[in-house]
Amino acid sequence: MSFPDDHHSITGAAAKRVLVAGATGRFGQIADLLLARGHTVRAATRDPAHPQAARLAAAGADVVRADFEDVGSLAAAARGMDTVFASGSAHRAGPAGEERHGRNLADALSAAGAPHVVFVSGAGADMPTGVAVLDAKRAVEQRIAELRLAVTVIAPVYLMENLFNPWNLAALQAGTLPTPVPPALRLQQVATCDILALAVLAIEHPDSFTGERIEVASDAPTGEEAAAVLSAVIGRDFTARQVVGPGLPPRLAALFAWLEHNPSPVDIGALHRRFPGITWHSFDNWVKDQQARLSQPSGTVPPAAGRAISPDKDSCGHRHPAV
Ligand SMILES: NC(=O)c1ccc[n+]([C@@H]2O[C@H](COP(=O)([O-])OP(=O)(O)OC[C@H]3O[C@@H](n4cnc5c(N)ncnc54)[C@H](OP(=O)(O)O)[C@@H]3O)[C@@H](O)[C@H]2O)c1
């Protein structure tokens, strides 16, 4: 499937009204992509005064208050929308919270009669795994299916942006590339902006994407290869080391152990052939895009995860109009 209009703005009948749930979160920059393509965006947050929400309001989004704990607020936000884009909240709320939030979201979208939902889940979450983080996503996918919502599930293996997770920052500053699996093992990864580009495609072409569950990855470097790329691009030495030890929350330790046995579920070649309009990032290209964020003067001190969108550039270096 290929969409020749992929790089052009949408006008007229093809423009969609899209609710971005969790608009201040790590996938919130989809709001910028949608606005840049001419869609109408409603951005949901518990705190409209949040800097990211205020920035989106200035960029043209309709910022509304909604809480994953409050079904009524989510249903109200979803009413009148063509599509709802959402992901989970595992890092903020833990697996039990993510499951509760996802069920609330599904119930709200059902009540609101949402015509199409694009939901970011996780690779492997369509099967029981015994890993709480994945089983919570599976429960949400199941609830969405039970309610017969018209859904497109996008399921990433491992985000390249995980490098910016708080528990990885000290290692990066010390010249270590933290990897969740042994450094010699290939681990499939994907850049957030590639996930979002696919989500935009699904939002714009619901007839082609409804009912699809697409697991995604854009490259599969070993930790050793990734460290070499980082060293070359950033200009200081990085050594890959597996993240282990008592500092790691148990839910992440379980996920990382699972990843070690399931590091490469995606047929990357087939995926990229199917969606040739997406700029699937190699790890090398992603690091080049992220060079400024990875090369802070005091070492590697990126801004807080999920809140790092500068006014005129998204996290993959795409330029947007200044606000
Ligand atoms: N595959 C991978 O490698 C990978 C890596 C990282 C994350 N993920 C997944 O990506 C998803 C999102 O990441 P994240 O968990 O770090 O969350 P996040 O996207 O940073 O934030 C969650 C969003 O939910 C909103 N929210 C609304 N009601 C909430 C409530 N009651 N409690 C908490 N948040 C609420 C928050 O907005 P307000 O605060 O503005 O209301 C926030 O924007 C998770 O499902 C996670 O598992 C996958």
Span from the CA of 78 to the centroid of ligand 1 (angstroms): 18
Is the pLDDT higher at 248 or at 121?
A: 121
Task: Identify the pLDDT of residue 292.
Answer: 87
Task: Identify the pLDDT of residue 11.
Answer: 52
Residue 283 has pLDDT above 70, yes or no: yes
Pocket flag, ligand 1, residue 258 (CB < 6 Å): no
Per-residue pLDDT, averaged over 182-202, amounts to: 98
Contact 252, 126 (CB under 8 A): no
Task: Identify the pLDDT of residue 244.
Answer: 84
Pocket flag, ligand 1, residue 212 (CB < 6 Å): no
Span from the CA of 91 to the centroid of ligand 1 (angstroms): 6
Task: Identify the pLDDT of residue 315.
Answer: 47
Pocket flag, ligand 1, residue 40 (CB < 6 Å): no
Residue 59 has pLDDT above 70, yes or no: yes
Cα separation, 66 vs 38, in Å, equals: 24
3-state secondary structure 66-110: CCCCCHHHHHHHHCCCCEEEEECCHHHHHHHHHHHHHHHHHHHHH
Pocket flag, ligand 1, residue 320 (CB < 6 Å): no
Residue 311 has pLDDT above 50, yes or no: no
Per-residue pLDDT, averaged over 280-294, amounts to: 94
Least confident of 76-85, 218-227, 242-251: 242-251
Least confident of 12-16, 116-120, 306-310: 306-310
Cα separation, 97 vs 141, in Å, equals: 15
pLDDT band with cut points at 50, 70 and 90 for residue 10: low
Per-residue pLDDT, averaged over 136-140, amounts to: 98
Least confident of 5-9, 127-131, 136-140, 166-170: 5-9
**Look-up: residue for tokens 């801004």?**
303
Residue 77 has pLDDT above 60, yes or no: yes
Residue 4 has pLDDT above 60, yes or no: no
What is the position in ligand 1's atom list of the atom closest to the CA of 22?
43
Nearest CA to ligand 1 atom 18: 25
Nearest CA to ligand 1 atom 20: 25
pLDDT band with cut points at 50, 70 and 90 for residue 264: very high
Per-residue pLDDT, averaged over 204-231, amounts to: 97
Span from the CA of 92 to the centroid of ligand 1 (angstroms): 6
Residues of the chain with pLDDT > 70, as a percent, come to 88
Task: Identify the pLDDT of residue 263.
Answer: 98
What is the position in ligand 1's atom list of the atom closest to the CA of 46?
41
Instruction: Give domain limits for the chain.
Output: 17-294
Mutate to test the pocket of ligand 1, among 20, 27, 91, 307 (most ligand atoms within 8 A of CB): 91
Pocket flag, ligand 1, residue 158 (CB < 6 Å): yes
Task: Identify the pLDDT of residue 297.
Answer: 45
Pocket flag, ligand 1, residue 241 (CB < 6 Å): no
How many CB atoms neighbour CB 234 within 10 A?
17
At position 165, the amino acid (one-letter code) is N
Out of 3.30.420.250, 3.40.1380.20, 3.40.30.10, 3.40.50.720, which CATH number does the structure's domain 17-294 have?
3.40.50.720
Pocket flag, ligand 1, residue 88 (CB < 6 Å): yes
What is the position in ligand 1's atom list of the atom closest to the CA of 24?
43
The mean pLDDT of the chain is 89
Per-residue pLDDT, averaged over 124-128, amounts to: 97
Task: Identify the pLDDT of residue 318.
Answer: 46
Contact 62, 41 (CB under 8 A): yes
Task: Identify the pLDDT of residue 9.
Answer: 61
Task: Identify the pLDDT of residue 248.
Answer: 84
Pocket flag, ligand 1, residue 159 (CB < 6 Å): yes
Residue 303 has pLDDT above 70, yes or no: no
B/e letters for 133-156, b = 16+ CB within 10 Å, e = fewer, are bbbbbbbbbebbeebebbbbbbbb
* pTM assigned to the model: 0.92
Per-residue pLDDT, averaged over 251-278, amounts to: 96
Per-residue pLDDT, averaged over 246-271, amounts to: 94
Mutate to test the pocket of ligand 1, among 30, 87, 137 (most ligand atoms within 8 A of CB): 87
Span from the CA of 45 to the centroid of ligand 1 (angstroms): 11
Residues of the chain with pLDDT > 90, as a percent, come to 80
Span from the CA of 4 to the centroid of ligand 1 (angstroms): 32
